[in-house]
Every structure is written in C-alpha cells, then in structure tokens.
Amino acid sequence: MKLTKKESKAEVATDSKGPRYPYGLSISLDDESLKKLGFDSLPDVNDQFIVVGVGPVTSVRQSQDEDGADRSFSIQLEKLEVGPAVAGAATDTALAAVSKGVDDANKSKRS
C-alpha cells in the first residue's frame, strides 16, 4: 500500500518528501472511540498496532477519463479492534487468519 516515490511526489508537489501512504489509509480515533476501545492512556508515536475492522461496503465507484481508470470503495467500520503489535509476532500470519475469518463469514452470509 505504500506509495512509490513517483506517486508520493504527484500526491503533494509542495512537500519535498510527500506522504508515505495515500489519503484515506489513516484512521483517527477520538476520545469517545478510545474509551469504547478500552484505552486508558495514549500510545507513543511510532508504536505499532494491529487493527481489525468489520463493516459493509457503502459505496463503489469506477470511472474512466483521459488519464485512465480509477476505482474505489468505502467501508463503514461498524466493529473495530485495536491492540499493540507484539514484538516478534508474525503480523502476516495474524492478517492471514483475520482474512480467512472474513472470507468464511462472507461465504456463510451468501449461503
């Protein structure tokens, strides 16, 4: 998901470095959300967290213009879990397990 150097420069021409990730991949949690998620204190900047969210797709867009095709969709997060990443834990394995759970849920929903 990380932007290439070319994408980064095209995203914000005024910032010499540009953003590292595209707009929309950041989640901001306000005080009320933090309380619901059980946070008593704030993490430190650069702490790594695992985020798991579930929700329906609320919009799908596809367009074509002279610059090429563009696709996007929006998800309304209805359930969210946030927790610190454990040092040395295999986050790819955790992500695969979550993906399998979501796939299984979607299959049972269609049945």
CB contact set of 65 (below 8 Å; sequence gap of 6+): none
Higher pLDDT residue, 14 or 21? Answer: 21
Assigned token pair, 36: 């619901």
The angle formed by the CA atoms of residues 25, 27 and 28, to the nearest 5 degrees, is: 145
pTM of the prediction?
0.57
Give alpha helix (H) positions in the chain: 5-11, 31-36, 91-110
pLDDT at 90 over 70: no
**Predicted confidence band of residue 13 (pLDDT cuts 50, 70, 90):** low
pLDDT of residue 95: 65
Model confidence pLDDT, tens digit, residues 49-79: 888 889 999 999 999 999 999 998 899 999 9
pLDDT at 40 over 80: yes
